[in-house]
Amino acid sequence: MSEKHSYVGKNLQRTDVLDKVTGRGKFTADLKFSNMLYGKLIYSTHAHARILNIDTSEAEKLPGIKAIITAKDVPSIRYGLSPARYDENIFCIDTVKFYGDKIGAVCAIDEDTVYEALKLIKVEYEALPAVFTPAEAAAEGAPQIFEEYPRNLNTEIHQHFGDCDKAQEEAYYVRTDRFQGQRTIHGVIEPHCTIAYWEGKRVIVHAAHQSVHYLQHHLARILGMKEGDIRVITPYVGGGFGGKLDVSGLDISAIILSKITGQPVKMAYDLEEVWLNGRGRHGMDMEYTTGVTKEGKILFVKNEIVIDGGAYTGLGIASAYYAGALLTVLYNFDNYKFDAYRYVTNLPPCGAQRGHGQPHPRYAFESHLDHIAEDLGIDPIEIRIINARKSGDVTPNGYELKSYFLKEANELARDASGWKDKKGKMAKGRGIGVGNGGFVSGAGFCQYRTDLPHSIAMIKVYDDGSHAIVYTNAVDIGQGSDTVLRQMAAEGMGYPYDDISIVSHDTDLATLDFGAYASRQTLMAGWAVKRAGEDVKRKILEMAAEMIKVKEDGGYRSGKLMPEELDCREGIVFMKQEPAVKITFAEVARAYFVKNGLLIGRGYYHPGKLGGQHKGAAVGTSPAYSSATQVSEVTVDEETGMVKVLNTWDVHDSGVAINPNLLHGQVHGAFAMGIGETLWEKVMFDEKGKLLNGNYAEYRLPTALDMPPVHSMILDTFEPNGPYGAKEVGEGATTPTLGCVANAVYDATGARVSSLPLTPEKVWRAMKEKREREEK
């Protein structure tokens, strides 16, 4: 046991993998309950309209129909994420606000009957004028979607630090660029599904969701119930990426329909409904004005972002703040002016999606920074190194970076990719680009106001010491939290990894955790399970100190041992000075049970008070920040504008990797999502606000043929605020890609496409315009 850790840092087998390769693992849609009914939501077929009448009489006559509910049958409460923006009803009252807005729900004995019924429900509308872009929403005389958002302005942010105007006067060079980011969708393969049934006054909810606690919390508020009367269980979740974090119409309707019918009710989205209600990435118009010294040191940044929010707010309030908050984490400058305007429009609402609010701004700023570097004649990686923040920095907006190695990430990406031999020396049509990114390792504040710990864990040991179970409501949505949490629990406890199992995401069985979002499980739930493990170990060592007999003539010690003289690794308690003096964990555990009863360990984590005092200071706070640099090589076909990504080097400063294989897996997936969003993906609507491409034929996710080799590399860093030195990777890994690939395309063509995605048409036109400019 000379190694520092037994399980941390090891590529141990995924906890869920056998279930997943044999097909026996159950996702929500795979569950069946006796007497179960099937339900669907009733959707608006107008982008903005007054509901004049809903006639369900024909549908109700259909044999097999059990219940049809609309706004008149449910509480008229409004909900959302932030109390100032509770703007959504269970079902539309009076008006519908987007094509796909929910106006009711139906349940029946089988799916066929439900679809029959949906065809028979007649809704009369009076169409209202609609707005589909922030510009239309803000225009003089534009229709008002909500009374409380004058001119449809839903969120306005003004965060100003230092003195940008003064810095602008002093700057050697100032440049302004504008970029557009498109609406995208998470692209989960498992459509959302919820099953609910009642047991007396309690309701049991099985849902494909990223946070059992938040779902329980929000449902309790919406339904006027106590949290303890709602049990939320999450079976295996087929991907989240932010799309399964808002409470959905499925969750609420399944509960209400089950109450009415007295039977379990299963509700699921079809794929198109995932687009309508899944709450993907916001479209953004971004303008950056940056001033630098002659050497390329950033003096100030003015950042204005206009955001298309869609019909409701939900998590979108946080997206708006995140859009500007984290730029100061990457680069070292004191003068920052961030202004943002999130408008409501008559399109599906947007929310959180991997990298929450910042992949588009990363694309924009990383592109902008390359232009500045080019104008000054500085190498793009060099300008990033010059400006990179470092460990110990505190940003002007109040974030403290305990460990931060963006400079080193740039250096490694540069060296590993052979940047110096390639940049500016590549064949025609080929290019190389760099992009930086990173993210919070968990949000510093809960979604709602509370002083509860962010994560609590418990470990229960079997009475013969042969097995232990770690309990946590961290949610494994595929990222592998069950595995790394078992690793950290086993490490903390000094107990064999193979003998510790996990019970997670069930509010009745496991313990409070806020769930899988803001890339928080490894750090926050990690602290809780580590501490629970250490609590068990403390109890075991105290007991063992009474049990271990040391020979009087042993030469080193006599009499009773102190617990501090002992340690426990891999299920063996031993004397630190004399490891041959040992006893098994199991023996000690059994003795503990005889003397004290149940052996459990408890741990919890609270990040403490973080951040500054300005309005919105909470968003972007975190105990730890990751950083990442990516370098990619592309080819661009001059005839067609088609981009192919050839190779990528992806360097991550994620602290200590608890399970390197799983970390690299996150990087691979994040990169795939990133190139999809850079090159192909865009949610599209017709002129009436109707979704055009809610399917995987017309919304192009990257396939296996689109993926280049990914060289994922981990910097050897340690985060003091992370358990075993770990910080995040899952979300941050997406953020460098958009700017990186866009910069590589620019390098290949000399023509900047300033809106995402970089479709062949846009790239081809940009090259053509460049040629025409040069010919003049």
Q: How many whole angstroms separate alpha carbon 647 and alpha carbon 375?
A: 27
Q: Could you give the 3-state DSSP secondary structure of residue 175?
A: strand
Contacts of 409 (CB under 8 A, 6+ apart): 436, 627, 628, 629, 651, 652, 653, 715
Beta carbon nearer to other proteins, 630 or 721: 630
Segments of 91-208 assigned E as strands: 95-96, 102-108, 122-127, 153-161, 173-181, 193-199, 202-207
Number of Cβ atoms within 10 Å of the Cβ of 295: 11
Please provide the DSSP assignment of 436-450 as one string.
Answer: EE--BSS-SS-SSS-
Q: Which is nearer to other proteins, 13 or 577 (CB)?
A: 13
Task: Spell out the alpha helix ranges (H) of 377-428.
Answer: 380-387, 406-417, 419-422
- Whole-number minimum distance, CB 229 to other proteins, in Å? 30
| Nearer CB in complex with other proteins: 426/646 | 646
Minimum distance between the CB of residue 70 and other proteins, rounded to whole angstroms?
27
**Nearer residue to other proteins within complex by CB, 231 or 664:** 664
C-alpha span between 473 and 766 (Å, rounded): 49
* Cβ nearer to other proteins, comparing 177 with 190: 190
Nearer to other proteins, 568 or 741 (CB): 741
CB of residue 324 vs other proteins: minimum separation in angstroms? 27
Closer of 148 and 270 to other proteins (Cβ): 270
Taking the least distance from each CB to other proteins, the nearer of 477 and 586 is: 477
CB of 618 to other proteins, least distance (A): 30
Give the nearest distance from C-beta 572 to other proteins in angstroms: 28
User: Is there a contact between 527 and 520 (Cβ–Cβ < 8 Å)?
Assistant: no
C-alpha 253/C-alpha 71 separation (Å) is: 11
Q: How far is the CB of 669 from other proteins (least distance, A)?
A: 5
How far apart (Å, rounded) are the C-alpha atoms in residues 18 and 25? 8
Q: DSSP state, 593?
A: H
Cα→Cα distances 276→86, 105, 180, 670, 691, Å: 19, 16, 22, 23, 8
Residue closer to other proteins, measured from CB, 139 or 189: 189
φ, ψ of residue 611 to 5 degrees: the values are: 95, 175
- Inter-residue contact 410 to 388 (CB < 8 Å): yes
Between 34 and 613, name the residue whose CB sits nearer to other proteins: 34
Beta pairing partners, 625: 440
* Shortest CB 675 distance to other proteins, Å: 9
Which tokens sit at 322? 């995140």
Minimum distance between the CB of residue 697 and other proteins, rounded to whole angstroms? 5
Is residue 342 left, alpha or beta, with left meaning phi > 0 and alpha meaning psi from -120 to 50?
A: beta
Closest approach of other proteins to the CB of residue 30, in Å: 4
Phi-psi group of 590: left, alpha or beta (phi > 0 → left; psi -120 to 50 → alpha; rest → beta): alpha
CB of 394 to other proteins, least distance (A): 35
Go through the chain and tell me how many residues it has: 776
Would you say 322 or 671 has its CB closer to other proteins? 671
177 closest CA partner among 294, 297, 302:
302
In the complex, least distance from residue 253 CB atom to other proteins, rounded to whole angstroms:
20
Residues making contact with other proteins (CB under 8 A): 11, 13-14, 16-27, 29-30, 32, 186-191, 236-239, 241, 270-271, 477-480, 661-662, 664-665, 668-673, 695-697, 701-705, 707, 710
Nearer to other proteins, 237 or 500 (CB): 237
- Please state the closest distance from residue 726 (CB atom) to other proteins, in A: 17
Give the CB-side neighbour count of residue 108, counting CA atoms within 13 A. Answer: 19
Is the CB of residue 250 less than 8 Å from the CB of residue 270? no
